[in-house]
Amino acid sequence: MTTPSAGDLRNFAIVGHASSGKTTLSEGMLACAGVIGRMGNIAQGSTVSDYHVSEKHHKISTQTSLLHCTWMGKKLNILDTPGYLDFISEALAAVRVADFALVVVHAQHGIGVGTERVWKERALRRSVGRRARTLRAESVSVERADQSGAELQPGARRLAQRSGDV
Ligand SMILES: Nc1nc2c(ncn2[C@@H]2O[C@H](COP(=O)(O)OP(=O)(O)OP(=O)(O)O)[C@@H](O)[C@H]2O)c(=O)[nH]1
Ligand SMILES: [Mg+2]
Protein backbone atom coordinates (compact mmCIF):
# COMPACT_ATOMS: atom_id res chain seq x y z
CA MET A 1 0.00 0.00 0.00
CA THR A 2 1.31 3.44 -0.88
CA THR A 3 1.75 5.98 1.89
CA PRO A 4 -1.42 8.10 2.03
CA SER A 5 -1.12 11.87 1.93
CA ALA A 6 -2.15 13.80 5.03
CA GLY A 7 -5.38 14.82 3.32
CA ASP A 8 -6.35 11.20 2.83
CA LEU A 9 -6.02 10.27 6.50
CA ARG A 10 -8.95 10.05 8.89
CA ASN A 11 -7.91 9.54 12.51
CA PHE A 12 -10.86 9.06 14.82
CA ALA A 13 -11.75 7.61 18.20
CA ILE A 14 -14.86 5.51 18.75
CA VAL A 15 -16.18 6.42 22.21
CA GLY A 16 -19.33 5.81 24.21
CA HIS A 17 -20.81 4.21 27.29
CA ALA A 18 -19.93 0.63 28.24
CA SER A 19 -21.28 -2.09 25.95
CA SER A 20 -22.90 0.36 23.57
CA GLY A 21 -21.48 -1.54 20.59
CA LYS A 22 -18.20 0.24 19.79
CA THR A 23 -16.09 -2.86 19.19
CA THR A 24 -18.82 -4.55 17.16
CA LEU A 25 -19.11 -1.41 15.03
CA SER A 26 -15.35 -1.27 14.43
CA GLU A 27 -15.38 -4.99 13.54
CA GLY A 28 -18.11 -4.21 11.01
CA MET A 29 -15.99 -1.43 9.54
CA LEU A 30 -13.08 -3.83 9.03
CA ALA A 31 -15.38 -6.38 7.41
CA CYS A 32 -16.98 -3.82 5.10
CA ALA A 33 -13.55 -2.55 4.07
CA GLY A 34 -12.38 -6.12 3.32
CA VAL A 35 -9.66 -6.24 5.98
CA ILE A 36 -11.32 -9.37 7.40
CA GLY A 37 -13.43 -11.89 5.51
CA ARG A 38 -16.17 -12.13 8.11
CA MET A 39 -17.07 -10.39 11.35
CA GLY A 40 -15.85 -11.83 14.63
CA ASN A 41 -18.03 -11.40 17.70
CA ILE A 42 -17.77 -10.58 21.37
CA ALA A 43 -19.28 -13.83 22.67
CA GLN A 44 -16.64 -15.94 20.93
CA GLY A 45 -13.83 -13.49 21.69
CA SER A 46 -13.00 -13.33 18.01
CA THR A 47 -12.97 -9.60 17.24
CA VAL A 48 -9.80 -7.96 15.96
CA SER A 49 -10.01 -5.17 18.52
CA ASP A 50 -10.57 -7.15 21.74
CA TYR A 51 -7.51 -9.32 21.24
CA HIS A 52 -6.11 -9.30 24.79
CA VAL A 53 -6.68 -12.46 26.82
CA SER A 54 -8.40 -10.42 29.53
CA GLU A 55 -10.75 -8.83 26.98
CA LYS A 56 -11.65 -12.23 25.55
CA HIS A 57 -12.24 -13.61 29.04
CA HIS A 58 -14.38 -10.75 30.39
CA LYS A 59 -15.95 -9.88 27.02
CA ILE A 60 -15.29 -6.17 27.43
CA SER A 61 -12.66 -3.79 26.06
CA THR A 62 -9.96 -2.84 28.54
CA GLN A 63 -7.60 -0.91 26.30
CA THR A 64 -7.70 1.27 23.20
CA SER A 65 -7.01 -0.66 20.01
CA LEU A 66 -5.67 0.92 16.85
CA LEU A 67 -7.29 -0.52 13.72
CA HIS A 68 -6.72 0.38 10.10
CA CYS A 69 -8.66 0.14 6.89
CA THR A 70 -9.10 1.95 3.60
CA TRP A 71 -12.52 3.21 2.61
CA MET A 72 -13.36 5.25 -0.48
CA GLY A 73 -9.73 6.19 -0.99
CA LYS A 74 -9.21 7.34 2.60
CA LYS A 75 -6.98 5.59 5.12
CA LEU A 76 -8.94 5.21 8.36
CA ASN A 77 -7.05 4.99 11.64
CA ILE A 78 -9.67 3.80 14.10
CA LEU A 79 -9.16 4.01 17.86
CA ASP A 80 -11.66 1.65 19.49
CA THR A 81 -11.81 2.76 23.13
CA PRO A 82 -13.18 0.97 26.22
CA GLY A 83 -16.46 2.25 27.67
CA TYR A 84 -16.16 1.03 31.25
CA LEU A 85 -15.17 3.82 33.65
CA ASP A 86 -12.32 1.73 35.13
CA PHE A 87 -10.55 2.23 31.80
CA ILE A 88 -11.69 5.77 31.00
CA SER A 89 -8.10 7.04 30.88
CA GLU A 90 -7.71 5.04 27.67
CA ALA A 91 -10.67 6.83 26.07
CA LEU A 92 -9.61 10.27 27.33
CA ALA A 93 -6.14 9.77 25.90
CA ALA A 94 -7.57 8.64 22.57
CA VAL A 95 -9.79 11.70 22.09
CA ARG A 96 -6.77 13.91 22.68
CA VAL A 97 -4.93 12.53 19.70
CA ALA A 98 -7.88 11.86 17.38
CA ASP A 99 -9.06 14.35 14.79
CA PHE A 100 -12.66 13.63 15.67
CA ALA A 101 -14.75 11.36 17.85
CA LEU A 102 -17.42 8.94 16.71
CA VAL A 103 -19.82 8.71 19.65
CA VAL A 104 -21.72 5.43 19.88
CA VAL A 105 -25.05 5.51 21.71
CA HIS A 106 -27.04 2.44 22.77
CA ALA A 107 -30.46 2.71 21.11
CA GLN A 108 -32.28 1.53 24.25
CA HIS A 109 -30.18 3.02 27.03
CA GLY A 110 -29.27 6.34 25.43
CA ILE A 111 -26.38 8.44 26.70
CA GLY A 112 -24.50 6.98 29.67
CA VAL A 113 -22.13 8.57 32.15
CA GLY A 114 -19.14 7.25 30.20
CA THR A 115 -20.35 9.07 27.10
CA GLU A 116 -20.72 12.31 29.04
CA ARG A 117 -17.22 12.15 30.53
CA VAL A 118 -15.58 11.74 27.15
CA TRP A 119 -17.90 14.27 25.53
CA LYS A 120 -16.96 16.88 28.16
CA GLU A 121 -13.27 16.21 27.61
CA ARG A 122 -13.83 16.80 23.93
CA ALA A 123 -15.76 20.03 24.61
CA LEU A 124 -12.98 21.28 26.89
CA ARG A 125 -10.39 20.66 24.24
CA ARG A 126 -12.52 22.54 21.77
CA SER A 127 -13.17 25.53 24.03
CA VAL A 128 -9.49 26.11 24.70
CA GLY A 129 -8.95 25.82 20.95
CA ARG A 130 -5.78 23.77 21.22
CA ARG A 131 -6.90 21.38 18.53
CA ALA A 132 -9.10 23.81 16.66
CA ARG A 133 -7.23 23.36 13.43
CA THR A 134 -7.37 19.59 13.34
CA LEU A 135 -10.84 19.09 14.80
CA ARG A 136 -13.29 18.48 11.98
CA ALA A 137 -16.55 17.20 13.36
CA GLU A 138 -18.13 14.94 15.89
CA SER A 139 -20.30 12.12 14.60
CA VAL A 140 -22.88 10.08 16.45
CA SER A 141 -23.81 6.49 15.69
CA VAL A 142 -26.81 4.81 17.31
CA GLU A 143 -26.12 1.08 17.72
CA ARG A 144 -28.11 -1.94 18.86
CA ALA A 145 -31.19 -0.53 17.18
CA ASP A 146 -32.25 -4.05 16.17
CA GLN A 147 -33.18 -4.98 19.73
CA SER A 148 -36.74 -4.70 21.02
CA GLY A 149 -37.45 -1.55 23.00
CA ALA A 150 -35.07 0.52 20.94
CA GLU A 151 -36.50 4.01 20.48
CA LEU A 152 -34.49 5.68 17.81
CA GLN A 153 -36.46 8.89 17.50
CA PRO A 154 -36.73 9.87 21.21
CA GLY A 155 -33.15 8.74 21.75
CA ALA A 156 -31.87 10.91 18.96
CA ARG A 157 -33.89 13.90 20.24
CA ARG A 158 -32.53 13.54 23.79
CA LEU A 159 -29.05 13.27 22.40
CA ALA A 160 -29.45 16.48 20.40
CA GLN A 161 -30.78 18.31 23.47
CA ARG A 162 -28.02 17.10 25.76
CA SER A 163 -25.18 17.67 23.37
CA GLY A 164 -26.13 21.16 22.24
CA ASP A 165 -23.20 22.67 24.15
CA VAL A 166 -20.61 20.65 22.29
N1 LIG B 1 -28.35 -7.11 19.17
C2 LIG B 1 -27.25 -6.39 19.06
N3 LIG B 1 -26.24 -6.62 19.90
C4 LIG B 1 -25.12 -5.88 19.74
C5 LIG B 1 -25.00 -4.87 18.76
N6 LIG B 1 -23.78 -4.28 18.86
C7 LIG B 1 -23.19 -4.92 19.89
N8 LIG B 1 -23.98 -5.87 20.43
C9 LIG B 1 -23.67 -6.75 21.56
O10 LIG B 1 -23.50 -5.94 22.71
C11 LIG B 1 -22.46 -6.45 23.55
C12 LIG B 1 -21.40 -5.37 23.72
O13 LIG B 1 -20.86 -5.07 22.43
P14 LIG B 1 -19.42 -4.44 22.28
O15 LIG B 1 -19.19 -4.25 20.82
O16 LIG B 1 -18.42 -5.20 23.05
O17 LIG B 1 -19.64 -3.03 22.99
P18 LIG B 1 -18.49 -2.00 23.40
O19 LIG B 1 -19.12 -0.65 23.40
O20 LIG B 1 -17.30 -2.19 22.56
O21 LIG B 1 -18.18 -2.46 24.89
P22 LIG B 1 -16.95 -1.94 25.81
O23 LIG B 1 -15.81 -1.63 24.90
O24 LIG B 1 -16.65 -3.06 26.73
O25 LIG B 1 -17.45 -0.72 26.50
C26 LIG B 1 -21.93 -7.70 22.84
O27 LIG B 1 -22.59 -8.82 23.40
C28 LIG B 1 -22.37 -7.50 21.40
O29 LIG B 1 -22.58 -8.74 20.72
C30 LIG B 1 -26.11 -4.64 17.88
O31 LIG B 1 -26.11 -3.78 17.00
N32 LIG B 1 -27.20 -5.44 18.08
MG1 LIG C 1 -15.30 -2.49 23.11
The pLDDT tens digits for 105-156 are 877 777 777 777 777 776 656 544 444 333 344 566 666 666 665 555 555 5
Question: What's the CA-to-centroid distance between 149 and ligand 2, angstroms?
Answer: 22
Chain centroid to CA 41: 16
Say yes or no: CB of residue 83 within 6 Å of ligand 1: yes
- The pTM assigned to this predicted structure is 0.85
Question: What's the CA-to-centroid distance between 84 and ligand 1, angstroms?
Answer: 12
Give the residue among 16, 25, 155, 139 at the shortest CA–CA distance from 84: 16
CATH topology of domain 8-20+65-163: Rossmann fold (3.40.50)
